[in-house]
Structure 1
Amino acid sequence: MNEEPSPGRPVELRHLRAFLAVADELNITRAAARLRLTQPAVSRTLAALERHLGVRLVDRSTHHLALTADGVAFRDKAATAVAAFDEALDSGRLRTWPLRLGHAWSAFGPYTTPLLRTWQERFPGTPLELLRIDDRTAGLTRGEVDAALLRGPVDAPGLVAEVLFTEVRVAAVTADGPLAARPSLELADLADGPVVLNTVSGTTTVDLWPPGARPAATLTVGNTDDWLTAIAAGRGSGVSTASTAELHPHAGVAYVPLDDAPGVPVLLARRDAPGHPKLPQLVSLAREIIARDPARRPPERAPGEPPR
């Protein structure tokens, strides 16, 4: 089989699928087994793609494969292209085009249920699929979703985002530990023991603490479930947002107000490119639902009182 891209059709879908398999497995043999191809065929396909792009996507200089900087940047583009192709050929979605909304944790906070219910009432022909994906952009850069609810700053290229509201932070501590009985806590109260950090989807890093008062030790996990389990087991404390306390109750975890931590912006992000036609309606509805919340409305002014 000739793996070289032809002049009329320089890159085919199989080249992208082969690269993505290698990027996921970081092993040619496992990638070949996943694609049901031979190892030489995958190697030739990958080499042909690299020749066409004029860059190295995979570093083969070590015993273990690794993506180059160009490979990391290309992976999201390739994943988006493959996802769009598969979506277009999904016969079950020819008549309905679901709007996929990703989140890494806590979704839209207290507004999650109102958003889903109101959307169903107003747009019954366009299902709104809420997908939890343990990834900093909740699958948005990989093309797995059309939009994403994210927390904290997002630096991924090719995305645009707007702040919908700001959440206060809370401390998450072991339910039967001494900190759970306190009416409120400060960051310094958590720094004496280990702090559990969700490095994949969370927003808390050691930079939340002043340089001279950072936690004595940290424990890193990859998702919200492991974060809760570690705290419940007494392996450390954590910092999250108020919506985590509402949407992720846990018998072994107590959430306590945190007095001196800055709030976390909740963003609605999308790719900076043409996308799902119902994205403008999603943005408008999200704003509308937040505006319904009396706690977020500006206080009413008495007659003659100047604006606050």
Structure 2
Amino acid sequence: MSIELRHLRCFLAIAEESSLTRAAARLHLTQPAVSRTLAALEQHLGIRLVDRSTHHLALTSEGLAFRDRAATALAAFDAAVDPAGLRRRPLRLGHAWSAFGPYTTPLLRRWQREHPGTPLELLRVDDRTAGLARGEVDAALLRGTVEAPGLVTEELATEPRVAALPSDHPLAARSRLALGDLVGETVVLNTVSGATTLALWPAAARPAATLTVANTDDWLTAIAAGRGVGVSSASTAALHPYPGVAYRPLPDAPPLPVVLAWRDAFPHPATEALAALAREIVAETGTAP
């Protein structure tokens, strides 16, 4: 047996729907047909991709790794055979939050002016690599350390960190804070796309309580509701003002790197031009405040 695109599409539908029944409905197939396709794929690979032993279908560790590769392969194939893309292939630039901070508008405007033949599409994807590892975008603006196989990264700038507090919190009365001021608080962590972890604090003095969320919107909502405090970059404060949330500088926290990332294999032809323009804009404007 050889792997065909239908096997990849079937597996990705299962991965995204977390259900054989919903995957079958999405693909307009019967559930037995979906089960047979998955079984054939697993037999060919010699690994178990889906754990069927739990009440809710879940991917195995091998399945999680294969999901990213399958998505990248399918995205590359679809882009290759798309007639519109062959004529005018856009450059899809992902981000999880705050895009390129204060450089976002200059980047978009100058790209449109200097590269009119290649549309630049800015896409928010709530994922640690902003959809890059899954093939949803061609390049991504990310923050913090990025550890994903097959990606090339270039640090473009750094951003100071800020604390985010409920506006009526006693600490909000101060003009600036230290990491130690937050140790006794519940810290809200965006574990899907965020760059803040407990490792930001010294091992001997870390917050004991955390609340996990899946995206920036839920992070802001939790803080405004008084469920905890958070740490993010200065661009979050500038681009995401939110009722009930106060931002305060954290001078003792290490700055957060802002990086441009792209896939090492088969990068978009305009990737180097994007990196060069991003570097130029940062050099002209200076480090983000």
With normalisation by structure 1, the TM-score equals: 0.90
Match of 2:150 in 1: 158
Match of 2:269 in 1: 277
- The equivalences for 1:3-82 within 5 A come to 5=1, 10-82=2-74
- The equivalences for 1:266-305 within 5 A come to 266-294=258-286
1:86 deviates by 2.5
**Distance across 1 between alignment mates of 2:66 and 2:227:** 38
Q: Return the letter of the residue paired with 1:187.
A: L
**Distance across 2 between alignment mates of 1:36 and 1:240:** 43
Match of 2:123 in 1: 131
Match of 2:180 in 1: 188
**Distance across 2 between alignment mates of 1:30 and 1:50:** 20
Q: Return the letter of the residue paired with 1:146.
A: D
* Aligned: 1:173 with 2:141: no
* Aligned: 1:120 with 2:112: yes
**Distance across 2 between alignment mates of 1:221 and 1:62:** 24
1:115 deviates by 0.3
Match of 2:79 in 1: 87
**Distance across 1 between alignment mates of 2:100 and 2:287:** 16
- The equivalences for 1:204-215 within 5 A come to 204-215=196-207
2:141 to 139, 146, 149: 149
Larger Rg: 1
* SS of residue paired to 2:212: strand
Report percent identity of matched pairs.
Answer: 73
- Tell me if the contact between 2:159 and 2:287 (Cα under 8 Å) persists in the aligned partners: no
**Distance across 1 between alignment mates of 2:187 and 2:239:** 21
1:109 to 101, 108, 130: 101
**Distance across 1 between alignment mates of 2:192 and 2:233:** 16
1:63 deviates by 3.3
With normalisation by structure 2, the TM-score equals: 0.95
Q: Return the letter of the residue paired with 2:218.
A: D
- Cα gap change, 1:295 to 1:140, in 2 (>3 Å): closer
Provide the aligned C-alpha RMSD in A.
1.4
Q: Return the letter of the residue paired with 1:22.
A: I
Structure 1's unaligned 5+ residue stretches are: 297-308
**Distance across 2 between alignment mates of 1:111 and 1:24:** 33
1:150 deviates by 0.7
1:294 deviates by 4.4
- Tell me if the contact between 2:160 and 2:251 (Cα under 8 Å) persists in the aligned partners: no
2:212 to 220, 232, 249: 220
**Distance across 2 between alignment mates of 1:225 and 1:250:** 10
* SS of residue paired to 2:9: helix
1:29-68 Cα shifts (integer Å, max 9, x gaps) = 2211221111110011111111222222122233333222
1:91 deviates by 4.1
Structure 2's unaligned 5+ residue stretches are: none
**Distance across 1 between alignment mates of 2:278 and 2:108:** 10
Runs of 4+ in structure 1 displaced over 6 angstroms? none
1:295 deviates by 5.3
Higher deviation after alignment, 26-35 or 81-90: 81-90
**Distance across 2 between alignment mates of 1:92 and 1:279:** 19
User: How many residues matched?
Assistant: 288
**Distance across 1 between alignment mates of 2:98 and 2:16:** 27
**Distance across 2 between alignment mates of 1:103 and 1:259:** 25
1:229 to 215, 221, 231: 221
1:243-299 Cα shifts (integer Å, max 9, x gaps) = 111111112111111121111111111111122111110010000000001458xxx
1:69 deviates by 2.1
Q: Return the letter of the residue paired with 1:290.
A: V
